[in-house]
């Protein structure tokens, strides 16, 4: 199943953070989520999240990784994802 990690309205990260932070959260804030947090926030039948790091297959390289943790920092003008 294909899912979106990023996206302020429909990504797994945003959904998981919305249940943890609530409307009272004030930026800037940091976050730490595990794969279990993301799965419980919208992937009821999943047990793992696998990422295809090279979906275009340039050079025949396949990079598949199991997501374990997501760290974030959010500010009104800058929100990098690690």
DSSP codes, 10-42: T-HHHHHHHHHH-TT--SSEEEEEEHHHHHHTT
pLDDT band at 7 (very low <50, low <70, confident <90, very high): confident
CA distance linking residue 21 with residue 2, whole number of Å: 26
- DSSP SS3 for 65: strand
* pLDDT single digits (tens) 29-70: 888 988 888 888 666 677 888 888 777 777 777 788 898 998
* pLDDT single digits (tens) 13-25: 888 888 777 777 7
Domain boundaries, the chain: 12-74
pLDDT of residue 38: 82
């Amino acid at each position: 199943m294909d899912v979106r990690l990023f996206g302020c309205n429909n990504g797994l990260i945003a959904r998981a953070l919305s249940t943890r932070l609530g409307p009272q959260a004030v930026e800037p804030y940091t976050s730490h989520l595990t794969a279990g947090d993301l799965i419980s926030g919208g992937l009821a039948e999943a047990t793992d999240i696998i990422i295809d790091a090279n979906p275009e297959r340039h050079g025949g390289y396949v990079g598949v990784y199991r997501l374990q943790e997501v760290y974030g920092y959010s500010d009104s003008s800058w929100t990098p994802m690690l």
